[in-house]
Amino acid sequence: MSADESGPSRPPQRIWAEPAPGKLMGRGHNAGDLLEAYDWDVIERRDGLLRVGVHLPDALRNPKNELFGGFTPTYVDLVALHTYWAGREARPGHPWLATLNMRVDYYAPVRGPRFEIEGRVVNRRGAMTFIETLFFHPEGEALAYGYTTLREV
């Protein structure tokens, strides 16, 4: 079978990488779409810091109408990856990032309808980057904390 018969060999389209103005990402990313990250508002983005305003999708709520705790690490992972790139420009051949370790602590239920998440680079050392992620009620109460180790691969 020739290359023409099997289709062109090219990287997958990343439509999620082109967000609407003021948004973190576009549609088309599996985890991002689950969290409805295409609707997240970027509050602040600079080198090593990302703060976003998010909503709590109905599909992610537990029977008490709070964020089901098992989804919290998905938020932490996605925000950590975007925090890594915050204030930096992706370059051709930019590294793929692998999540090596993640810890999540829960302080209070995330009830929504809106909350904020802040990611901050704690340290970059060689191929490793360490990122902390905090969930806040809009009035400032800390709700959850995550710590993620990313590695460039």
Query: Which residue ranges form the domains of the chain, and what is each CATH number?
Result: 39-152 (3.10.129.10)
* Mean pLDDT, residues 67-80: 98
pLDDT at position 53: 98
What pLDDT, on a 0 to 100 scale, did the predictor assign at position 1? 45
pLDDT at 8: 53
pLDDT value of residue 122: 99
Confidence bin at 94 (pLDDT 50/70/90): confident
- Nearest C-alpha neighbor of 112 from the set 47, 42, 62, 146: 62
Is the per-residue pLDDT at 40 higher than 70? yes
Looking at per-residue confidence, does 32 or 14 come out higher?
32
Determine the average pLDDT of the residues in 97-105.
98
Q: For the whole prediction, is pTM greater than 0.85?
A: yes
Using CB atoms within 10 Å of the CB of residue 95, give its burial: 0 to 12 exposed, 13 to 18 middle, 19+ buried. middle
Question: Mean pLDDT, to the nearest integer, of 27-37?
Answer: 95
Q: Which of 107, 110, 115 is nearest to 52 (CA)?
A: 115
Query: Percent of the chain at pLDDT above 70?
Result: 87
